[in-house]
Amino acid sequence: MKFIIREVIKSDVPTFHKFATDREVAYFNNTDMMESFESFHKRYEPYFLGQIDNLKIFTICIDEMIIGKMDIIYDLKNRSGEFNIVIGNKNFWGRGYGLKALHVLFRYAFNNLGLNRLSCKVYAFNNRMMNLLRKLKMHVDGVLREAEYVHGRFTDVYIFSILRKEYEGDV
């Protein structure tokens, strides 16, 4: 099986919508399971039209099968970025593909974009994601207490970050 990270293409969006409307995936990402495909797709249009110059969206594949997506929004002036990742195909949860994908993203951010800092926000109940970020030796910068109303209750949001000099990858 070949692990592939590539820039998103328009034909990936239906699969992303399928992930976003899956009950379990939506739970961890607080996505609207009832969102129509048309509404979901419209959010990607500015990206495909080249109207957003500080965002990169990547598709995570095994062979030709899409298993997830990740994105990074970045500020070149301050050399910092914030990322998100979703392994939407639950058959691939817990198999190390999120870790592999983030290593690729980190190298891209530090080497290609020249960033100094990467961060990620995580809901307190998303233990799988917090464990992944800890494996990457990301630092907990802080907790935004009861910052978002998710699934009928207020939840804490953890802010994780890593600096270029802390990353032990191939930078």
Determine the Cα–Cα distance for residues 36 and 33; give it in Å rounded to an integer.
9
Query: To the nearest whole number, what is the mean pLDDT of the chain?
Result: 95
Give 13-31 pLDDT, tens digit per residue. 999 999 999 999 988 988 8
- 127-170 pLDDT per residue, tens: 999 999 999 999 999 999 999 999 899 999 999 999 999 996 55
Q: What average pLDDT does the segment 82-97 reach?
A: 96
Instruction: State the DSSP string of 43-103.
Output: TTHHHHTT--SSEEEEEEEETTEEEEEEEEEEETTTTEEEEEEEE--GGGTTSSHHHHHHH
Segment 62-73 mean pLDDT: 97
Which is more confident, 48 or 31? 48
**Alpha-carbon torsion, ordered 161, 66, 12, 87, to 10 deg:** -30
Give pTM, 2 decimals. Answer: 0.93
**Percent of the chain residues topping a pLDDT of 70:** 98
**Mean per-residue pLDDT for 106-115?**
96
- The domains of the chain, with CATH numbers, are 3-119 (3.40.630.30)
pLDDT confidence bin for 115, thresholds 50/70/90: very high
Contacts made by residues 143-152, CB under 8 angstroms, sequence distance 24+: 148/30, 148/123, 150/30, 150/123, 150/125, 151/27, 151/30
